[in-house]
Chain A
Amino acid sequence: MPNVDEIIDRLGGADAAARLTGVSTEAVRKWRQSGSIPSRHWAAVIAATGLSLADLQTGLAPEPTDPSDVPAGATAALVLADGAVFWGRGFGAHTSTHSPVGEVCFNTGMTGYQETLTDPSYAGQIITFTFPHIGNVGANPEDIEAGTIAARGLVVKQDVTDPSNWRAVQDLDAWLKARGITGISGVDTRALTIRIRDGGAPSGVLAFPANGRFDLAALQAQAAAWPGLEGMDLAKDVSCRQTYHWDETVWAWPTGTGRQDAPRHHVVAVDYGAKRNILRCLAAAGCRVTVVPATATAEEILGHAPDGVFLSNGPGDPAATGAYAVPAIRGVLDAGIPLFGICLGHQLLGLALGAKTYKLDRGHRGANQPVKDLETGKVEITSQNHGFAVDDKTLPGNARVTHVSLFDGSNEGLACTDKPAFSVQYHPEASPGPSDSHHLFHRFVRLIESRT
């Protein structure tokens, strides 16, 4: 394994190394002294010497924490479990001793960052936005899908600019700061996304220390020690703590959201991390909605005498949440109550029917995902956010596949053949995203009406 002196020799000596990496020879002398080369120069060193990243990571001493070694202008870093360090400029809240750690995913949506950030399904994740201009329409009090932000942080390409939108009441930086969420800008999000695409979603830590000092070795160790989302039940963390009622309907210009004051049906929605627009869509479709916690049993759900039961979206591994959710769902299915599931609710229905779920290599996150309805042959452009999927090969004989992803062929929907139950993996409520699939809420209502 080459040491620093050998690497500098490979670069053609101190002068050549300085020229190649754009630093002074004094800086190169400092490399020799500290026994390490700052990670911001690794790409140039790798290109010039033919060494691999592993050579640089294992052959050198840990990254120094001297503030003078932080790249000029950098105030924040995204440190991955494999030691890669993406430097950038921090915004939102400063991080404390325990920097936010999570699975680094990417979202391809071009709009709706505020709805994305407040989607509870992003619990445990650091979101990389592939669209470069995030924050340019500010923040408003209406485009939120939950009261708090479940995501651990965000990574963006361009610096957040002043908002330019008639609905904005705050800039994104202040909005995040007030909610204790950290962002980093100036990162090559294409490079990060390619890493995720090719190598799977890594664990990472976001650091934006107020004092500007980075303990990179500790941050990498924190990322490496994070257990990952597989096997993690996060629904309990983001679910409501007690039952409540919902009557707000979907937002429409120019009046905004409305109220459902003449509901025709009563739906119990099990909250595994429900987005508010799902509840708005149910209310707009004519339902009185009672929201119950994720841990509600079948008896508690049926105790509300619902006309239909809805299983919400949510974060984490469905197999872990299924430990308490599956018995409740089986109880509802046995009672013959019409049932509709979205996202995690879809996966949990699959588990309740006896199918298995698995973790996708890179997940589907964005507002531009094509899905084919196998019954009609129509393609809908959908909003999606999921890292796990139902293995349709394990579906029992009393369930059929209704929708598939046109990106990777994975399962996007199922329906029971002997019970009034169906579900989709994607998000028909959009928010953010296209409203191609809003009709599914009306399909659910028609299913309820066919049974009453």
Chain B
Amino acid sequence: MDAPGLLLTTAFRHVISEPTIEAGYDRVAALIEGNGGALSESDFRTAVAALLREGLVHEPVRLPEGALQCHWHLELTPKGVAAARTLLANSPEP
């Protein structure tokens, strides 16, 4: 599966909410590695930009209610959820 696909399926299965994008990458990479995959930070950043451009994820940098610092989220849009479901349905992976 390509990097955007890995991100979509990971975000479909897990809540990714971290203080920064660097921490977000660490968490996503750990989850992907747990499933036997790998994702470089550069591919991760490119994939996030592509998913955002295509309207598959919400804007990742957000300000939680009342907070003084932005947080980084990887959260699928309805279109992203549908894309992730299609990927998982067509994927032989568990």
CB atoms of A85 and B70 under 8 A apart: no
List residues of chain A with CB within 8 A of the CB of B68.
39-40, 42-43, 84-86, 188, 191
B67 within 8 Å of A by Cβ? yes
B38 within 8 Å of A by Cβ? no
Q: List CB contacts (< 8 Å) of A76-120 with chain B.
A: 84-86
List residues of chain B with CB within 8 A of the CB of A442.
none
Partner of B65, one of A40, A52, A84, A85: A52
Of all chain B residues, the one with the shortest Cβ separation from A53 is B66
B34 within 8 Å of A by Cβ? no
CB atoms of A191 and B65 under 8 A apart: no
List residues of chain A with CB within 8 A of the CB of B65.
46, 52-53
CB atoms of A191 and B66 under 8 A apart: no
CB atoms of B70 and A194 under 8 A apart: yes
A133 within 8 Å of B by Cβ? no
A252 within 8 Å of B by Cβ? no
B81 within 8 Å of A by Cβ? no
CB atoms of B64 and A43 under 8 A apart: yes
CB atoms of A47 and B61 under 8 A apart: no
CB atoms of B61 and A190 under 8 A apart: yes
Of all chain A residues, the one with the shortest Cβ separation from B61 is A190
Of all chain B residues, the one with the shortest Cβ separation from A190 is B70
List residues of chain A with CB within 8 A of the CB of B91.
none
B90 within 8 Å of A by Cβ? no
CB atoms of A47 and B64 under 8 A apart: yes
Inter-chain contact count A-B, CB under 8 Å?
39
Cβ contacts A4-26/B at 8 Å (1 or 0 each): 00000000000000000000000
Q: List CB contacts (< 8 Å) of B51-94 with chain A.
A: 61-70
Closest approach, in angstroms, between the C-beta of B17 and any C-beta of chain A?
Answer: 9
Alpha-carbon separation in the docked complex, A47 to B70 (Å): 13
A195 within 8 Å of B by Cβ? yes
Closest approach, in angstroms, between the C-beta of B62 and any C-beta of chain A?
Answer: 8
List residues of chain B with CB within 8 A of the CB of A52.
65-66
CB atoms of A195 and B63 under 8 A apart: yes
Closest approach, in angstroms, between the C-beta of B55 and any C-beta of chain A?
Answer: 20
Partner of B70, one of A40, A46, A86, A188: A188
Closest approach, in angstroms, between the C-beta of B9 and any C-beta of chain A?
Answer: 26
Alpha-carbon separation in the docked complex, A139 to B62 (Å): 33
List residues of chain B with CB within 8 A of the CB of A42.
66-68
List residues of chain A with CB within 8 A of the CB of B62.
194
Most chain A beta carbons < 10 A, residue from B61, B64, B66, B69:
B66
Q: List CB contacts (< 8 Å) of B18-73 with chain A.
A: 61-70
Of all chain B residues, the one with the shortest Cβ separation from A84 is B68
Of all chain A residues, the one with the shortest Cβ separation from B66 is A53
Alpha-carbon separation in the docked complex, A84 to B66 (Å): 9
CB atoms of A46 and B66 under 8 A apart: yes
Alpha-carbon separation in the docked complex, A64 to B68 (Å): 19
List residues of chain B with CB within 8 A of the CB of A84.
68
Of all chain B residues, the one with the shortest Cβ separation from A54 is B66
CB atoms of A43 and B70 under 8 A apart: no
Alpha-carbon separation in the docked complex, A53 to B63 (Å): 13
Alpha-carbon separation in the docked complex, A46 to B63 (Å): 13
Alpha-carbon separation in the docked complex, A39 to B68 (Å): 9
List residues of chain B with CB within 8 A of the CB of A85.
68
Closest approach, in angstroms, between the C-beta of A54 and any C-beta of chain B?
Answer: 8
Closest approach, in angstroms, between the C-beta of B67 and any C-beta of chain A?
Answer: 4
Alpha-carbon separation in the docked complex, A52 to B70 (Å): 16
List residues of chain B with CB within 8 A of the CB of A188.
68-70
Closest approach, in angstroms, between the C-beta of B59 and any C-beta of chain A?
Answer: 10
Closest approach, in angstroms, between the C-beta of A126 and any C-beta of chain B?
Answer: 16
CB atoms of A43 and B66 under 8 A apart: yes
Of all chain B residues, the one with the shortest Cβ separation from A80 is B68
Of all chain B residues, the one with the shortest Cβ separation from A44 is B67
20 CB contacts below 8 A, A to B, read A39-B68, A40-B68, A42-B67, A42-B68, A43-B64, A43-B66, A43-B67, A43-B69, A46-B64, A46-B67, A52-B65, A53-B65, A56-B66, A85-B68, A188-B70, A190-B70, A191-B63, A191-B67, A194-B62, A195-B63
Closest 4 CB pairs of A and B: A53-B66, A43-B67, A194-B63, A191-B70
Interface residues of A (CB under 8 A from B): 39-40, 42-43, 46-47, 52-53, 56, 84-86, 188, 190-191, 194-195
Interface residues of B (CB under 8 A from A): 61-70
Known: A43-B68, A191-B68. 14 other contacts (CB 8 A): A39-B68, A43-B64, A43-B67, A46-B64, A46-B66, A47-B64, A47-B67, A56-B66, A85-B68, A188-B68, A191-B63, A191-B69, A191-B70, A194-B70
